[in-house]
Amino acid sequence: MTLDLALAAGKSFLIAFAALLPILNPAATAPIFLGLTEGASKDTRAMLARRIARNMVVLMAASMLVGSYVLDFFGLSLPIVRIGGGLLLTASAWRMLSVTHHTDDRRAELAEAFTPEMAKRQAFYPLTFPVSCGPGSISAAITIGVSLADDRLALSVAHMGGGLLALVAIGVIMFLCFRYAQHLLKPLGEAGSIIFLRLTAFILLCLGVQIIWDGVRELLLSLPAR
């Protein structure tokens, strides 16, 4: 029986890890993290990386365990969640595209303004949700949570335990990607980094529009046919 539970937990770990890592994609989100934290010191970014990774694990775990019950309680559907999250993601991407390139003096001013208190306020919104953990990943976590549930309590606990361990592993990967994001872009140089961040912001904007469209399309398909 113990072996069966261990196998169930291992299988759930692999399923959740393989399904959620490509959606969360910390390596692709790391440049966006840099763009939204311009002016922050190295220590502040390290603190933010820890907080964002922790927030992501907690948010995704809550979605996996009780997300479907919360949506039912408030009478919300996944398409509505996608539309709301897509709007937030689009707004964040638009702010990134609208910022201007800063001089050295302006960077110094930003560094003084981006205090640890300001970073703590932004750690959840928008850096955790919707940038690092958007409506698509939350929807996937809810779906995985439903699929891992089992009528037998022991197996259900083993499945959920494996899924939660997968979230912790992804959280560690996200922390490392954000913590050392600046080193990843260093070979591009200053001009190359600016171009790359702009392209990433545009892709993020397109992703937000795509998420909104997916939600709208699901709502339209759910309408009764005449």
Task: Answer for the pair 26, 174: CB distance below 8 angstroms, yes or no.
Answer: yes
Task: Answer for the pair 8, 159: CB distance below 8 angstroms, yes or no.
Answer: yes
Q: How far is CA 110 from the centre of its chain?
A: 25
pLDDT per position as a tens digit, 44-103:
899 999 999 999 999 999 999 998 888 888 888 778 877 877 787 787 778 777 765 544
pLDDT per position as a tens digit, 96-139:
777 655 444 444 444 445 567 777 788 898 889 888 888 778 88
pLDDT at 108: 45
pLDDT at 193: 65
Give the Cα separation of 84 and 137 in Å (integer).
14
What's the pLDDT band for 41 if we cut at 50, 70, 90?
confident
pLDDT per position as a tens digit, 158-196:
999 999 999 999 999 999 999 998 887 777 666 666 677
Task: Answer for the pair 150, 156: CB distance below 8 angstroms, yes or no.
Answer: yes
| Cβ neighbours around 225 below 10 Å, total | 4
Question: Which residues, including other chains, have CB under 8 Å from residue 9's CB and lie 6 or more apart?
Answer: 158, 159, 161, 162, 165
